[in-house]
Structure 1
């Protein structure tokens, strides 16, 4: 992780408006594996604008969303108005303050890399019932050469060479080992590819909401980056909507009833 300070508060509006949700196939895959079923009690840590939390609530779960950023929680409340209720709490994933052993699922979408993982794992274990599931999910756009994602990321890195981004599940296989050592078992996952359409305006908003742009740069630098990205899209990728390939990954780990082994 970089030492660059990251604050998603200033980009909360772009985050809520332009970050696409996880596709239904993710929740179908989780349900087929006994996760997120009607009646399940779910804590969604790093909930952000509540994308995962609202989807679990819509599936009939009782959901608490947890995040440290009040701006993101305000957007989560706004986005969920009129939908299945989620209770939101301002707290870190490592110390949620929620009841011990009372939850069937702890979920983390697009955020596991931001946490103090040993503490977040211990908190998930504290929250879950025996056999309860920790679910880590990522939805990342392709950066294969020649794609919109690759060109956009290259431009972004010229504005922020110290981009604090790190990869998700595919780039961090050691996360499984960390979970196993902390008393989680039955580790398994699934992944699939999907294509998400974006207008130029929506893709610019998606990039502004990135950790290395809207959550890191000054407003003036964000505006200049956005103008450069608009020119890049106009010149190199004029067709709309853009068809952006994404990879969706999920890792499921079950809380063992036995304490973790001593090192």
Structure 2
């Protein structure tokens, strides 16, 4: 699989974006979490590893269902943000680890989840690590909020903006991961999917923060920063309705054995 940058760089890509990530990244709809607990047998007593857990957005949803969660994150700044916001949960354990080396004991978890992170992993090494830490019959669940790019004139314009001015958007876009990668990662029994809608509403400052939360967005001082902000304002001015624009998503879940 093509590597977009070296491993250390990938693990530090969000270090200067934590505040915007916490404020402006979407959570996940109740329907998606209900699916995990109603259909995939997640339970309050489940031991779950949330791998690539970032600032704890998905971890919190599992903690709220009283599951025991190991929140595994290699980026110190993101991990500390999760620890700060989730420290009062008794069922929360923060782990300095990665998908390739979770540091968890063998056969220790019932489920592994990865929300918005799987495309950063070394898939071959990760598969062996996931097999090592899963209990018998344990499942891997991969989740993305997949931003829809052709649902409106705004979404088309925003996508074109990223393609033109974002640093390495085309290379690191999670949609570069697809059936071929899933098919090789999951066991020979294959994988199943579940999809439901999600959305966010933004004023301009929120839209700006959402853009800056992305690893591919130029930051202040970068070559394209002033231009992308100017174009973002133009797009917002053109397409906002009553001072808001909408990000529409499909929340996509891929699950199976490894």
* TM-score bracket for this pair, using the shorter chain length: 0.7 to 0.9
Corresponding residue for residue 220 of structure 1: 221
Deviations 1:101-150 (A, max 9, x none): 01001100011111001111111111100101100001111100644333
Residue 158 of structure 1 deviates from its aligned partner by 2.3
The equivalent position to 2:58 in structure 1, one of 46, 52, 77, is 52
Residue 161 of structure 1 deviates from its aligned partner by 5.7
Moved more, 96-105 or 220-229: 220-229
CA separation of 1:2 and 1:199: change in aligned 2, threshold 3 A: farther
CA separation of 1:188 and 1:209: change in aligned 2, threshold 3 A: same
Cα root mean square deviation, aligned: 2.3
Residue 93 of structure 1 deviates from its aligned partner by 0.8
Moved more, 102-111 or 185-194: 185-194
**1:9 aligns to what SS in structure 2?**
coil
Residue 62 of structure 1 deviates from its aligned partner by 0.5
Corresponding residue for residue 248 of structure 1: 251
Residue 239 of structure 1 deviates from its aligned partner by 3.0
Q: TM-score w.r.t. structure 1 length?
A: 0.85
Deviations 1:134-179 (A, max 9, x none): 000011111006443332232223223632323349x601233213
Deviations 1:33-86 (A, max 9, x none): 234311000001110111111111111111011111101111112232445642
Which residues in structure 2 correspond to 1:1-263 (within 5 Å)?
Answer: 1=2, 3-4=4-5, 6=10, 7-83=13-89, 85-144=91-150, 146-160=152-166, 162-163=168-169, 164-168=171-175, 172-180=178-186, 183=187, 185=189, 187-213=191-217, 217-221=218-222, 223-224=225-226, 225-255=228-258
CA separation of 1:184 and 1:127: change in aligned 2, threshold 3 A: farther
- Structure 1 segments unaligned to the other structure (5+ residues): 256-263
CA separation of 1:88 and 1:168: change in aligned 2, threshold 3 A: farther
Q: TM-score w.r.t. structure 2 length?
A: 0.87
Aligned residues: 249
CA separation of 1:102 and 1:83: change in aligned 2, threshold 3 A: closer
